[in-house]
Protein backbone atom coordinates (compact mmCIF):
# COMPACT_ATOMS: atom_id res chain seq x y z
CA UNK A 1 0.00 0.00 0.00
CA UNK A 2 1.41 3.36 -0.99
CA UNK A 3 1.92 6.03 1.62
CA UNK A 4 -0.06 9.21 1.33
CA UNK A 5 1.93 12.40 1.19
CA UNK A 6 1.07 15.11 3.67
CA UNK A 7 -0.43 18.29 2.35
CA UNK A 8 2.03 20.88 3.54
CA UNK A 9 0.90 24.49 3.49
CA UNK A 10 3.25 26.81 1.60
CA UNK A 11 5.42 28.92 3.86
CA UNK A 12 7.64 31.96 3.59
CA UNK A 13 10.97 32.39 5.29
CA UNK A 14 10.95 35.26 7.76
CA UNK A 15 14.51 34.91 8.99
CA UNK A 16 17.22 32.34 9.61
CA UNK A 17 20.12 32.26 12.06
CA UNK A 18 23.36 30.33 11.66
CA UNK A 19 24.25 28.39 14.79
CA UNK A 20 27.80 29.11 15.98
CA UNK A 21 30.14 26.12 16.01
CA UNK A 22 31.13 27.03 19.58
CA UNK A 23 27.52 26.44 20.61
CA UNK A 24 26.84 23.20 18.76
CA UNK A 25 30.31 21.71 19.28
CA UNK A 26 29.78 20.00 15.91
CA UNK A 27 26.94 17.90 17.31
CA UNK A 28 23.49 17.49 15.77
CA UNK A 29 22.19 16.45 19.18
CA UNK A 30 23.45 19.71 20.71
CA UNK A 31 21.88 21.66 17.82
CA UNK A 32 18.56 19.92 18.52
CA UNK A 33 18.88 20.87 22.19
CA UNK A 34 19.40 24.50 21.20
CA UNK A 35 16.27 24.32 19.04
CA UNK A 36 14.30 22.98 22.02
CA UNK A 37 15.69 25.76 24.23
CA UNK A 38 14.53 28.35 21.69
CA UNK A 39 11.08 26.78 21.38
CA UNK A 40 10.69 26.73 25.16
CA UNK A 41 10.97 30.52 25.23
CA UNK A 42 8.43 31.16 22.46
CA UNK A 43 4.64 31.52 22.57
CA UNK A 44 2.71 28.33 21.83
CA UNK A 45 1.56 29.56 18.42
CA UNK A 46 5.14 30.15 17.25
CA UNK A 47 6.81 26.95 18.51
CA UNK A 48 6.06 24.83 15.43
CA UNK A 49 7.17 27.60 13.07
CA UNK A 50 10.81 27.36 14.16
CA UNK A 51 12.88 24.59 12.63
CA UNK A 52 16.42 23.30 12.35
CA UNK A 53 18.15 22.73 9.03
CA UNK A 54 21.85 21.75 9.04
CA UNK A 55 23.24 24.29 11.48
CA UNK A 56 20.61 26.92 10.78
CA UNK A 57 17.54 27.88 12.81
CA UNK A 58 14.71 29.04 10.53
CA UNK A 59 11.48 30.91 11.22
CA UNK A 60 8.92 30.00 8.56
CA UNK A 61 5.29 31.15 8.62
CA UNK A 62 2.28 30.29 6.44
CA UNK A 63 1.81 32.50 3.38
CA UNK A 64 -1.62 33.59 4.55
CA UNK A 65 -0.32 34.80 7.93
CA UNK A 66 -0.79 38.53 8.51
CA UNK A 67 0.73 38.68 11.98
CA UNK A 68 3.81 40.65 12.88
CA UNK A 69 6.63 38.18 13.61
CA UNK A 70 9.19 40.77 14.78
CA UNK A 71 8.69 39.90 18.47
CA UNK A 72 9.28 36.19 17.81
CA UNK A 73 12.33 36.99 15.71
CA UNK A 74 13.71 39.24 18.47
CA UNK A 75 13.14 36.52 21.07
CA UNK A 76 15.09 33.99 18.98
CA UNK A 77 17.92 36.49 18.45
CA UNK A 78 18.07 37.21 22.18
CA UNK A 79 18.18 33.50 23.03
CA UNK A 80 20.96 32.87 20.51
CA UNK A 81 23.02 35.84 21.70
CA UNK A 82 24.29 33.94 24.75
CA UNK A 83 23.85 30.37 23.59
CA UNK A 84 27.58 29.57 23.75
CA UNK A 85 27.49 30.19 27.51
CA UNK A 86 24.93 27.47 28.27
CA UNK A 87 26.35 24.51 30.15
CA UNK A 88 26.78 21.16 28.48
CA UNK A 89 25.16 18.44 30.58
CA UNK A 90 27.26 15.31 30.62
CA UNK A 91 25.92 11.94 31.67
CA UNK A 92 27.82 9.01 33.06
CA UNK A 93 26.21 5.60 33.02
CA UNK A 94 26.55 3.19 35.91
CA UNK A 95 27.93 -0.16 34.95
CA UNK A 96 26.14 -2.14 37.66
CA UNK A 97 23.44 -4.38 36.31
CA UNK A 98 20.34 -4.06 36.13
CA UNK A 99 19.97 -0.34 36.84
CA UNK A 100 21.40 1.89 34.11
CA UNK A 101 20.63 5.43 35.21
CA UNK A 102 22.57 8.54 34.24
CA UNK A 103 24.42 10.58 36.84
CA UNK A 104 25.15 14.26 36.49
CA UNK A 105 28.89 14.82 36.60
CA UNK A 106 29.96 17.33 39.19
CA UNK A 107 26.53 17.28 40.84
Cα dihedral 33, 80, 48, 12 in deg (nearest 10): -130
Cβ atoms within 10 Å, residue 39? 18
pLDDT, residue 100, reads: 53
pLDDT, residue 13, reads: 82
Contact assessment for residue 80 and residue 38, using Cβ atoms and an 8 Å cutoff: yes
* Interval 73-85: pLDDT, tens: 999 999 888 787 7
In a domain, 17, yes or no: yes
In a domain, 1, yes or no: no
Q: Determine the structural domain holding residue 75 and report its residue range.
A: 11-104
Q: How far, in Å, CA of 14 to CA of 73, rounded? A: 8
In a domain, 4, yes or no: no
In a domain, 2, yes or no: no
* Interval 32-63: pLDDT, tens: 988 998 999 999 988 999 999 888 999 988 88
Question: What values do phi and psi take at 17, rounded to 5?
Answer: -125, 130
In a domain, 70, yes or no: yes
In a domain, 36, yes or no: yes
Quote the number of domains for the chain. 1
In a domain, 43, yes or no: yes
In a domain, 5, yes or no: no
Q: Is residue 92 classed exposed, middle or buried when 0-12, 13-18 and 19+ CB atoms within 10 A define those classes?
A: exposed
Amino acid sequence: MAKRSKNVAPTKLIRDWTLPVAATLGSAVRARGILLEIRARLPVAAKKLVGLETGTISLRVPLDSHEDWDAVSASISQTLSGIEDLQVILARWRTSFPSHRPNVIGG
